Each structure stands twice: as C-alpha cells, then as structure tokens.
Amino acid sequence: MMLPGMIMTLLIGGLLSWMAARWNAVLSKWIALLAVGADLSLAGYWWFHFRDAASSGSSWFIDFQTGWIPSFGIGFHVAMDGLGLVLLLLTFFLGILAVLCSWQEIKERTGFFYFNLLWTLAGISGVFVAMDLFLFYFFWEVMLVPMFFLISIWGDARRRYAAYKFFIFTQAGGLLMLLAILALYFIHGRQTGTYTFDYFSLLHTSLASSVSRWILSGFLIAFAIKLPAVPFHSWLPDAHSEAPTAGSLLLAGLLLKTGAYGIIRFVLPLFPRESAAIAWWAILAGVIAIVYGALLAFAQTDLKRLIAYTSVSHMGFVLLGIFSFSEIAMQGAVMQILTHGISTGALFVMAGMLKERLHTRDIEQMGGLWTSMPVMGGAALLFTMASLGLPMLGNFIAEFLILLGTFSASVPLAVIASFGLVLSALYSLRMVRKVFLGPADLPLKDLSVRELLILAAMSIGIIALGLYPQPVIDMVRTTVRQLVTR
Amino acid sequence: MMHSFNAHTVLVVAALLFVLGLTGVLTRKNIIFMLISVEVMLNAAGLAFVAAGAQWHQPDGQVMFLFILAMAAAEISVGLALVLQIYHQHKTMDVEDLEELRDRPNEN
Amino acid sequence: MLASIAALPFLGFLLLSLAGRRLPRIAIAWIGAGSVSLAAILTVLYGIHFLQSSPDSGVDRWLLWQWFTAGNLSVSVSLSVDALSLVFIFIITFVGALIHIYSTGYMRQDRDYARFFACMNLFVGAMLVLVMADNLVLLYLGWEGVGMCSYLLIGFWYESPANCQAANKAFLVTRIGDTAMLIGLFLVFSALHTLNIPAILEQAPGHFTKGAPNITLIALLLLAGGMGKSAQLPLQTWLPDAMAGPSPVSALIHAATMVTAGVYLIARMHTLFQLAPAAMMITALVGGVTLFMAGCSAMVQTDIKRILAYSTISQIGYMFLALGLGAWSAAIFHFFTHAFFKALLFLAAGAVIEALHHEQDIFRMGGLKARMPLVFYTFLAGAAALAALPFVSAGFYSKDPILWYAWSSRNGNAFLWGLSLAGAFITAFYCTRLMLVVFGGEMKTRVRELPGKAMTIPLATLAVLSVVAGCIEWPHNLLHLSLFSDLIQKVLPAPVLKEQLPAEGIFQLAAVVVTLLGIYTGYLLYHGEKSILVRWQRSPGKVMTRNFLLGGWGFDQLYDTLFVQPFLFITRVNKTDVVDRVYEGLAQVNVKFNRLLSTTQNGSLRWYIAGVLIGILFIITLQLVL
C-alpha cells in the first residue's frame, strides 16, 4: 500500500495546492513542499530499511498488485527494487529542490504551477515503479501533459514552440511504444491464452526474431527520444532553455532518466537477444551523442541551451554504459543517471538564478560575475568540474566505470568516448570563463539563504557520490547483475 | 379508375426532379432559390418513396413521405431564419459574396 | 599519521573555502601556511620514523575506506608510502610550506587572500594524494585535482582575459594527456584486472612479454599522461602561458611539484616501462629533444618568468631523459634538487617583480645587485644550481649523473648525450644572461619596496638547500657517498650500464667545460662584448631565428591551424544543429501540405456542394464497378 500511497500523496498534494492557491499562494507552496517532503522522507526510510535486503541479494523490496481493468488484463501492479528506489530518491530529492527553486520565480497562477509540478513528479515516480505495461504507459503520459503546461505557461519567450516540440516528439515516441506494448500483449495472449499487460508475465513471451525486432524498435525509439539519443535530441535544447527553472530541473534531472530507465527495465529484459545484437550500434549512437552534443554545447551562447546540449553529451555515456553489457559499465550508467541529474540540475538552477538577476540567458552579456557573487561562482565551479568529470565528484565515478566497462565491448568506440572528456573540458571551461571570469562590471546580489540551501544540498550530494558511491552501487547490484548475466 | 401503376415511370420523374433541384442548387446565386431547389430535391426523394411504397403495397413509403414533409417544414423554417440573419448581417443574398468560412492561413 | 599529513591541507582548504571571507587576514595566513607547515613537520617526523624502522616490505600502507567496488573492479582510498613517495611528500610539504610562508607576504595586499590559500592548500592536498595513492584511480584523482588547482591558480587574477585564456589552455592541454593516461589505465585493467599499483607491478612481468605491442602501448599512453602534466614535447605549450598566475603558484605548481608528476608516474610504473624498451627509448628521446628545444627558447625570452618556465620544461626534459635511460634514481634526484632551486628562482623572481611594480621584462630591470642584495645572492645560488656549477651547487650533483648515463646506460647513445651536453651549455648561457641583465648594469626601474621577512626567510632557506642539498649524493668516482640512491633503489632498480666504458671522469670534465663555456659565452655577450648582440640584431636571419625561438618553435601557431581553427569552424558552422534543421524541414513540409489542402476550403457554398456531389458519384461508381 505504500507505493500507491506515495503516488497518491503527490496527486492529492497537487490538487490541494491548486485549490489552496485560491485563498493563499504561500499555503499552496507549503502544501507542495510538504507533499514532496513526505515522499522524500518515505524514500529515505526505505533506503535504510532495505539496505540490508539489497546487500543480501533480494531484488524486489515491495510488490503491490490489485486489479484495475481486469477484462483487458490490466492490473495496478507497482513494485520497487534497488534501481527503482535509487531513482525514486533522486526524484524526490530533485522534486523538493524544484519546489524550492520556484519559490520566488513563479508569481502567476502559483497553484496551478505546483499542481503541474507535483503531477509531473507523480508521473515520474509512477514510471519508476509501474510493473504493468499499460500502467507504465499511463504514467508515461501523466508526466508528459503537466510538463507541457509547465513549459507552455511559465516558460520564456519561445515557450509555445518549445512546448509543442517537446510534446510532439515525446508523444510520437509514446505512440510507438503503445503500439509495441499492444503487439506484445496480443502475441503473448495468443501464445498463452491469458491476455495480460503484466511485466513479469510478458517477460516470458517467446518472440520470433523478425517480430521482436519491430517491437524492440518501438520501445527503443520511445526511450531514445526521451534519453535523448542523437538524432532524436532536437526537442531537448528548446524545451530545456524555454522551461522555467523547475521545469528544466525536472526535465534534465528526471525526465531524461525515464528514457534510460525504460531501456534498462524493459528493452534489455524483454529482448535480451535482440538488444545484444544491436549493442554495437547503440554504443555507436552513444559515442555520437557524446561528441556531437559536446560540439554543439561549445558553440552555444545561450546559457541554458549550452547546458542542455551538455545533457545530450552526458546521456550518451548512459547509452554506452547500458549497451556494454558489463556489470561495471551498467553500474556506471546508473551512477551517471544520478550524478547527471544532480550536476546538470544544479547548473540549470544556477542558470535560473542568473536569469532572475540579469534577465538574460546570453553568456556574451555576462562575465566577471565572480567578483560580485563569489559563493555562486564557487558552486558553479564545483558543478562545472563535476560535469567535466573531475575525480572526487560523482560524475567521475560514473564516467570512469562506464568507459572501463565499454572497453571490454569495443575498444575503438571507448577510446573516442574517452576523448569526450577533453571536449567536456572545452565547453565547461568556456562556460565558466564567459560567465564568471573576466572583468567585473555587474554588481549583483550573491545567493540568498534559500538558494544557498538548494546548492548546498546538491553540492553535498555530488561530493558524497564522488567520495563514497558504494551504497548506491550495493543497492542496485542485484538488478544490474540480473541484467548482465541474462 | 385504376390505371395500371408503373413505378418505373414515376422513378424517372423523381430522378428528373432531383437533378433539376440539384442543378438549381449548383447554378443559382440567390440563396433563397438554392433553398427552394433543396425543397425540390427533398420532394423528389419523397416521390421516390411513395412510388416504392405503391410498388410493394406497403404503407412505409407514405410514412416516409410524411416524415420528409415534416422534416422539410422544419428545415425550411430554420433555413429561412438563417437566411434572414445572413441578409441582416451582409445585406446580400448572393452566395458568391458569402465566404465567411474561407480558410485564411495568414491570419492565425 | 600518514592520513593526517594528507588531511591537513584538505582541512585548511575546507576552512578557508567555507569561512574564508569572514576570517581576518592573519587567521587566513595562519590556517593556510600553518596547515602545510604542520604537514611538513609531520612529514619530517614520519620520514625519520620511516628511515629508522622501515617496514619489511619498504612500504607503509593505510586503508582509509573502500571507495567503490563494481564487478571485478575494486578501488579503495588507501595511502601507501615507500621511499619514492617519501621523497615527493617531503618536497611537496617542505617546499610547499616555504612557499606558503612566502605567499603570506607576497599576496598580502590581494583582495582574494582566502581564495588563494584555499586553492594552494587544496593543491598540496591533491598532490599528496597523487604521490601517496595506492591505486591508479586514486592517483588519477590527485592527478586531476592538481590540474584543477593549477587551472584555478593560473587564472587567479581572473579579471584579465589573458589569464583565463592561459588557465583554460593549461587545463585543456594537460587534459589531452590525462585522457591518454586514462585510456592506458583501462588497458591495464583489461589486461590485469586490477588497478592496484603494487599488484600491477607484481603481475605485469608475468603477464606481458617484453616488448610486446600491448605493453608498449600502455607505457606510451602513460607517457602521454606524463607529457601533458610535465609539459614535455609535444604538449609543452601550456607551461609558458601558465606563468600568468602569481609567482608563488609558479614556484609551487609549475616548477617544484605538479609538473614533476609525470616523472613520478613513470618512476612509479617503472616495471611497465622496463617491459617496453621502445617506450623507454621514446621517453628518453622526448626528454632529450624537449630539454634542447625548451632550452633554446629560454635563451631568447625577455619575460623573467617565461625564461624560468622554459628552463623548467628543459630541466624536466632531463628527468624524462634519465627515466628513459633507466637511471631512475638520477631522475628522482634531479627532481629533488630541481624543486629547491627552481622554487627559489621563482620566488626570487617574484620578489624582484613585486619590487619593480609588476615589471617582468628583464631588459627593464637591471642594477638590482646593490639595491636588493639578499635577493641577488639567493637568486645567484639558484641560478648556479640551474646552470649546474661544479661542486658549489646542488644542480651539479644531480645533473652530472644524467649526462653520464646518457652515454653509459644501456639505452644511452651519442645523440642523447650530445643533446644533454648542448642543454648544459644552453642552460649555463641563459642563467648567466639572466643574472647579468637583471642584477648587473644600471638600474632601469625604481625599486618600490624590499621584501619582508615572510618572503626572505623562505628565500634564504631554499638558497642554502640549493647549494648543499646535492651533497648527499656524489658522483661515485669522486666520493663514495650515495645516500639518496640507496634510499631510492629500495623501490626503483639501479641503472644497467653498457660494458667497456671509458672513464667517467672524461665525461664529467666535458660537462664542466661545457658549463663554464656557456657561462663565459653569456658573460661575453651580455657584459664583455655587447657589440656582438647589436650586430646580430641587424641580421634578418638571426632576428627571425630569435623570433622563432621566442615563440616556442611555433608550436602554438601549428596547433592553432591544425586543431583549434578547424574545431572552431566546425562548431561555428553547426551552431544551430543540422539535425534540428531536418526536423524543421519536416515541419515545413507539413505546413506546405496544410496550405495546399486549405485552399479547398474557400468558403464558396456551391464549391462544397459540387464536392459532395463528386464524392457521391465517386462512391456510386465504385459500387457499380466493383
């Protein structure tokens, strides 16, 4: 009952905060904060509660199942394993920061904003626990629609364009996935006589390779768009740069991760043979994303767009890690999901803070900000260093593990991917130089207590993951092992 | 005085009537005449029903005619009301000048 | 104790970075310099303990925590110290402490006092991790950590765009080497399934056959890492620009410690290099060519810090040469003495620069001997050591063996020996030039103020060390005293010599003669017969050569055309993302179709009816035909 409760908290919290905003906007913020906070503490509790279970090798901690539309074999089946728990923790951690960082930024229709924010979070957390393919699709859409509103209502100048682009891309992928799910449903039903959307039942579907290739591509394209892999990435820079800060944070930190999660949870287990067959191509796609994203990031002058393209580059590493089929690389991919969520999220948060102060995203108009805001400069430097893969910070562990694992899959591709580290240094340092270094002429207010709190939480997170990532690795080990040894 | 009934002839008349009405709708510029032409077409359809009913010795044909009659009455009243409104707004009865529903791609 | 040596600078960094802006300057100075000085004291105590009762294996280990374990990879944060590490730790903390003390005086008027010491402390901590690391991943952590600190400190005065440019360049060029090294790490792991240094050294001889391509590749990749960090050809271009940082930074990072990390890496992984003779030969060649080319550039520089920067590249070239020759302890010994005299030279140069209102051009200095005697004598001690003046300088004792091994070692040959001998001449020449131009002649810029005690005490200490530090190791044909190589050879093997060699004394004599010749030439050109120089300045060929050397052999331009411009071109052309254009095109096609279809919606009632009619006819026809 706890998993549905977790999602319901967000759904009801969203409705309440919408209604509360009629009387009092501040109340609405607090309700949102409380709802996400409750879920964060719940996830934190689970973390400590299931830590021993994880190290002893049990894979599913919580499994909740009840009928939903029994006549079509649709059940409300949610379950959580180590991977899910780690991702839920990330979701609520970033969620609470998203609530906090919109505290001052959102002044119009506050209630509706928090409603959308919480419903997006509910959709995301639902995606991470749904074990029924129909339910998964349902949550996939639940996170999409409120996010569309977040971008199109509270976004920047080109928000309508960005929101539509985001919606069309994701929806196109979503429909392909729906087709693939239905195909799987009918094939499985015809084989066994029981028509069901249940993940664990569908795992045992035997598919002719010609059919499964089509179904696989349906899933894979949907997830590749979300990830995003080149050439499906072009919605991302627009959506990220036009969205409000909290929107960018959720997009970069969480929505992209649902793509990676989908590949790990559905593509690999459902189609082990076919995914092994396309592994080389997927790794190649990852390498292309790494290099191409970095090249684009280097050229940008719009700060948020620059960070958005670095996401493309970083998520290429995830593709690399997943399709290397080695335990090390897969662990790296999970780490990358976490650390990229935090580091890029933090960069977006800071871009938002700068935008609040300067009313521009153009880095050509910034420069020398260190003088007036050294605290933020320090934080920005930390996360830039994280994003270029400096050891001591979480991203290094992730990229190191991924590259090390990829070496066993394909040496040339791993070598090219390694040089992605040089490219990441190029764009990261350019960003720092353009924004924070150089002659100072803008007197700005440094971080407020609320902003400091947000960045401090993220800094501690990224440093902790860099210095002691073992708990995360232990938590997802069972899941990862099952994937690799299959 | 019962003549032998020939449904075929009646149907030909109905078809002729229908084509006449259709031509009227297509060629007339005045919206009132178009409406009258539509009435002619309806009556053609009614005539076909009556003929068919007589052919098969069934009451359905005449029932349908009554039904069409009622519908035509309703239609003409609504239609005339619309025509009146159009005349009020546009001061014309010419359909060539009534292009309110045209797609104007550059205006949205 | 081991852990606390490394932890102290980190602690200082944390304090200064979190609370630095609220602390008074005196507290910042005490924390910044104190943490490193305390670490230095602890190191000395630990060193005494280590030498007296060194553990049986010669290695002292300290496991802090398990870092991460995934699959068959297990990496721990554990420190280990053997004789090699101990030398490095000693230099890092001891020279580091002196430079920190110096900095309390040098930086006293800077706005970002706390940031400076925070970065310096972080650097010392990272460097200590680098040399204490028990596995290659932790070593890489320190390796990248020092790179970041170097970046931060080169760009310390960030308001000038040129400094930021230099900082970026330093980071990027070294990053290329670092990435090569990382790939080397991956290769090591895929061959040996471990990244633990002792395990690698132990298993490598059994796993690789000598001279096999895979081990050669690994060694070359590690060498590439070292070339980046230690500014060796072809990745040397960043170091001269790195002089944009404050002088203490140049002394600590870009002379004494960080740039020698490459030397440490190669010495640490010596077993792998011994298995790859080709890589050893390339190391020696890289060192030899670098020392010559950088030396040539140093001869013509006019910026005092750039002279020293090129001389650093050149001296590290000597170390690489020694490493490539298998003269491991000679390389480490040269590192040991070089740290003292090069740090001294940079600090003294810093004192000169500060006294002359941040004037760095040596031809606008001059006549400082009388005005700044202490700086003059310390600088003299440093320059003598750099020029390897026989017997009275530390540089002599450490450079002489390298010259000898360049001929006598198994890898040695006449070419390498010739290069190193030419290097000795060049070094002596530019040292003389530097001394004469800066301190001799008449005064061209007025001295503002003399350095205070905080600056002079480190200078004096380092000057004494630059004179005497070499005496712990004598050329064995002169005096049988080899404290240093005895210590180092617990860890690193002794050099293997050729058979049937001529007497060592001949080579020493040659080196001494060449050095003195270099000094004489310098004296002649810059003091005796100045007319020669004037004549040279009129010859276009000579001026062109001079400009070529001044620009560091044109490497910057070469890289600019080969890499930078194409890269910028590609990114500029594709700024709006060609893939996005494809989707945009798709959208445009859709809009076109929409336009096409919407022309049928023309609002004409009769047009619609005709449409309906045609549709009906079409359906009826279809019905009839089919």
**A407 and C187: CB-CB below 8 Å?**
yes
- Mark yes or no for CB contact A296/C571 under 8 Å: yes
DSSP 8-state secondary structure symbol assigned to residue C64: E
Task: Identify which of C336, C326, C325 has the alpha carbon closest to the alpha carbon of residue C385.
Answer: C336
- For residues A417 and A290, the answer to whether their CB atoms sit within 8 Å is yes
Touch test B–A: 3 Cβ pairs or more under 8 Å? no
Q: Is the pLDDT of residue C501 over 80?
A: no
The H or E element that residue C68 is part of is: strand C60-70
Spell out a b/e string for C541-557, using b for 16 or more CB atoms within 10 Å of the CB, else e.
Answer: eeeeeeeebeebbebbe
**pLDDT higher than threshold 50 for residue A95:** yes
**In chain C, whose CA is at the least distance from the CA of B105?**
C595
Of C317, C182, C298, give the one whose Cα is nearest residue C259: C317
Q: How many angstroms away from the CA of C325 is the closest CA of chain A?
A: 30
Nearest CB among B34, B100, B105 relative to C603 is that of: B100
Identify the contact set of chain B against chain C, taking CB-CB distances under 8 A. 22, 25-26, 34, 95-96, 98-103, 105
CB A105 within 8 A of CB A244: yes
Q: Model confidence at A40, in pLDDT bands (50, 70, 90)?
A: very high
Strands annotated E in C434-532 = none
> Is C574 in Cβ contact with A407 (below 8 Å)?
no
Cβ atoms of residues A360 and A302 within 8 Å: no
Question: Any residues with CB less than 8 A from the CB of B47 and at least 6 apart, and which?
Answer: B10, B13, B14, B17
Q: What is the mean pLDDT of residues C406-424?
A: 85
Per CB-CB distance under 8 Å, the chain A contacts of C579 are 230-231, 233-234
CA distance B12 to chain C (A): 18
Domain B11-107 annotated CATH 1.10.287.3510: yes
pLDDT for residue B106 is more than 60: no
Per-residue pLDDT tens over the stretch C107-143: 888 888 888 888 899 999 999 999 988 889 999 999 9
Rounded distance between C-alpha atoms, residue B48 and residue C605, angstroms = 27
Q: Give the span between the Cα atoms of C28 and A143, in whole angstroms.
A: 50
Query: Cα-atom radius of gyration of chain A, to the nearest Å?
Result: 21
Distance CA C124, CA C112 (A): 19
Q: Is there an interface between A and C (3+ Cβ pairs < 8 A)? A: yes
Is C182 part of the contact surface with chain A (CB cutoff 8 Å)? yes
Residue B108 has pLDDT above 50, yes or no: no
Domain ranges of chain B: 11-107
Neighbouring C-beta atoms of residue A56, cutoff 10 Å: 8
Does residue A218 surpass a pLDDT of 80?
A: yes
pLDDT digits (tens, 9 = 90+) for B21-56: 999 988 888 888 888 999 999 999 999 999 888 888
pLDDT, tens only, C321-351: 988 888 888 888 888 888 888 898 998 888 8
Mean of the per-residue pLDDT values of chain A = 88
Is the pLDDT at B78 greater than 90, yes or no?
Answer: yes
Report which DSSP code applies to A324: T
Residues 6+ apart with CB under 8 A from B54: B5, B7, B10, B61
Q: What is the pLDDT confidence band of residue B67, given thresholds at 50, 70 and 90?
A: very high
Contact B26 C599 (CB under 8 A): no
How close C185 comes to chain A (CA, Å)? 9
pLDDT the model gives residue A102: 86
Residue B57 three-state SS: coil
The larger pLDDT score, comparing residue C306 to residue B7, is at: C306
Answer whether C95's CB lies under 8 Å from C6's CB. Answer: no
Chain C residues in contact with chain B using a Cβ-Cβ cutoff of 8 Å: 594-595, 598-599, 601-606, 609-610, 613
With beta carbons less than 8 A apart as the criterion, state whether A154 and A113 touch: yes
pLDDT of residue A176: 92
Contacts of A123-128 spanning 24+ positions with Cβ under 8 A:
A124/A91, A124/A250, A124/A254, A124/A255, A124/A258, A125/A6, A125/A7, A125/A10, A125/A39, A125/A88, A125/A91, A125/A92, A126/A7, A126/A78, A127/A258, A127/A261, A127/A262, A128/A80, A128/A84, A128/A87, A128/A88, A128/A91, A128/A258, A128/A261
CB atoms A391 and C186 under 8 Å? no
Q: Rounded to a whole number, what is the distance in angstroms from the first to the last CA of chain B?
A: 68
Cβ contact C403:C417 at 8 Å: yes
| Domain boundary assignment for chain C | 329-528, 576-625
Q: Across chain C, what does the average pLDDT equal?
A: 85
Q: What is the mean pLDDT of residues B80-104?
A: 83
| CB-based contact, C158 to chain A, within 8 Å | yes
Q: List C residues 90-119 in contact with A (Cβ-Cβ < 8 A).
A: 115
A318-337 tens-digit pLDDT: 999 999 888 888 999 999 99
Q: Could you report the per-residue pLDDT of A150-162, keeping only the tens digit for each?
A: 898 888 888 888 9
B26, C594: Cβ pair inside 8 Å?
no
C370 torsion bin: left (phi>0), alpha (psi -120 to 50), beta (else): alpha
Distance in Å, alpha carbon of B103 to nearest chain C alpha carbon: 6
The pLDDT tens digits for C600-616 are 887 778 888 888 889 99
Q: Is the pLDDT of residue B1 over 70?
A: no
Cα separation of C471 and A105, whole Å?
68
Q: Is the pLDDT of residue A91 over 80?
A: yes
Does C148 reach chain A within 8 Å, measured CB to CB? yes
Residues of C with Cβ-Cβ distance to A231 under 8 angstroms: 579, 582
Q: How far is B78 from chain C (nearest CA, A)?
A: 17
Handedness of CA A368, A372, A376, A377 (dihedral sign): positive
Residues in contact with A24: Cβ distance below 8 Å, sequence separation at least 6, in sequence order? none
Please give the pLDDT value at position C436: 85
Average pLDDT for C358-382: 82
Mean pLDDT, to the nearest integer, of A103-113?
84
Which DSSP symbol is given to B106?
Answer: G
Does the structure show a pLDDT above 80 at C448?
Answer: no
Please state the rounded mean pLDDT for residues C339-368.
84
Over residues C4-26, mean pLDDT: 85
Comparing B58-72, C314-328, C384-398, the range with the smallest average pLDDT is C384-398
pLDDT band at B77 (very low <50, low <70, confident <90, very high): very high
Q: Do residues B42 and B68 lie in contact, with contact meaning Cβ atoms separated by under 8 Å?
A: yes
Q: How far apart are the C-alpha atoms of A296 and A310, rounded to whole Å?
A: 8
- Kindly report which listed range (A39-48, A249-258, C487-496) carries the lowest average pLDDT score: C487-496
Instruction: Give the residue-averaged pLDDT of C87-105.
Output: 89
Name the 3-class secondary structure at C79. Answer: strand
From the list B25, B26, B102, which residue is nearest C602 (CB)? Answer: B102
Q: Does C176 touch chain A (CB under 8 A)?
A: yes
